[in-house]
Amino acid sequence: MIERGERAARERKMSNLFDLLVAGLATGAIYALVAVGFTLLWQTSQTINFAQGEFVMLPAFLMLAAMHVGAPFWLASILGILLSMILLGLAFKMLLVDPMMRHGVLPLAIATMALAIGMKEAVKQFFSAEASPFPSIVPTGDISVLGHAVSLQSLGVLVVAILAVLCLTTLLNRTSLGHQMQAAAQNPTVARIIGVPVERMILLTFLINAFLVALASLLITPIYLAKFSSGEVLGQAAFIAAIVGGFNQVRGAIIGGLLIGVLDNLAAAYVSTQYRAAVPMIFLIAVILFRPQGLLGRAEERTV
């Protein structure tokens, strides 16, 4: 009797660990999407976008606004993604990055911080300071994986995020367009000489970043709810993920994102809820001390 009780408890612990891993991977996959955008912008235009978290917050509100005027959810999602690409891709580059870039990396980084504050306040002003519900693209419910009940929502988030990242890496590594983008990122001068339209490639990375954050927004908002401040946590997590993985590597950002997601969940469960936010930070410090180029990053020298 007691033995059976112990076995049940042990099984519960195992299945709990499994749940935590799945939930952590799902959140981590979203961090990864956001972190990939981070590294793309850095590689092609040395933009450190401190408004990246708010970039994830805003598309949800664009989609809600579209639904408000009567669009069904699927149409609102597409409209939201397109609008995000215009606002957070095109307009962001033309109106903020291009004019500020001339003054150097630091003024630009500070300008993105100002943008983050502006975006939060604008949403608060024009929408609401309170949270709003947001529909989920994945139905709720469970399916059985290896004898464990896994929530469809976690799995859906994970699958969509992995698909997006796979498409992106295929684009970057397998297509001529991707090679041109990489060339533009690695050595713009030489790329320009051999005929790569560097400016257009940079714009493309901004559009890809906008698409990724809009996708992340669509996936995370049903869980976090649409709120003006919901980008703060995400932006920070993605920033840490990008540094941990390697700021100059797309696959580094992916690994970093997943790692931070899982670490955060395990820390909350096995260390303490109060200190959960500190664990990724400690990990970050360890990485900066012992492997400053990040887990998968290349060492590079740059005068900042």
* Contacting positions for other proteins (CB under 8 A): 12-13, 16, 19-20, 23-24, 27, 129-133, 140, 142, 149, 151, 153-154, 222-225, 227, 229-230, 233, 264-269, 273-274, 276
Q: Is 189 exposed, middle or buried (0-12, 13-18, 19+ CB in 10 A)?
A: exposed
Least distance (Å) between residue 154 CB and other proteins: 7
Other beta carbons less than 10 A from residue 145's beta carbon: 11
Least distance (Å) between residue 268 CB and other proteins: 3
Reduce the DSSP state of residue 234 to 3 states and report it. Answer: helix
Least distance (Å) between residue 40 CB and other proteins: 25
Taking the least distance from each CB to other proteins, the nearer of 49 and 236 is: 236
Taking the least distance from each CB to other proteins, the nearer of 113 and 149 is: 149
Q: What is the DSSP letter of 150?
A: E
What are the Cα distances from residue 45, in Å, to 187, 201, 238, 239? 11, 10, 18, 17
Taking the least distance from each CB to other proteins, the nearer of 19 and 98 is: 19
Least distance (Å) between residue 170 CB and other proteins: 30
User: Taking a C-beta distance cutoff of 8 angstroms, is the pair 64, 246 a contact?
Assistant: no
Taking the least distance from each CB to other proteins, the nearer of 186 and 272 is: 272
Q: Of 156, 94, 126, whose CA–CA distance to 228 is shortest?
A: 126
Secondary structure E strands in 200-295: none
Least distance (Å) between residue 9 CB and other proteins: 8
Taking the least distance from each CB to other proteins, the nearer of 125 and 140 is: 140
Element (H, E) at 7: helix 2-45
Taking the least distance from each CB to other proteins, the nearer of 208 and 279 is: 279
* Pairwise CA distance, residues 297 & 238, whole Å: 16
* Pairwise CA distance, residues 171 & 77, whole Å: 23
Taking the least distance from each CB to other proteins, the nearer of 68 and 200 is: 68
Q: Of 59, 32, 57, 37, whose CA–CA distance to 49 is shortest?
A: 37
Least distance (Å) between residue 141 CB and other proteins: 9
Least distance (Å) between residue 267 CB and other proteins: 8
Taking the least distance from each CB to other proteins, the nearer of 86 and 271 is: 271
Reduce the DSSP state of residue 183 to 3 states and report it. Answer: helix
Least distance (Å) between residue 158 CB and other proteins: 13
User: Taking a C-beta distance cutoff of 8 angstroms, is the pair 56, 218 a contact?
Assistant: no
Taking the least distance from each CB to other proteins, the nearer of 39 and 230 is: 230
Other beta carbons less than 10 A from residue 225's beta carbon: 14
Least distance (Å) between residue 71 CB and other proteins: 20
Q: Is 71 left (phi over 0), alpha (psi -120 to 50) or beta?
A: beta
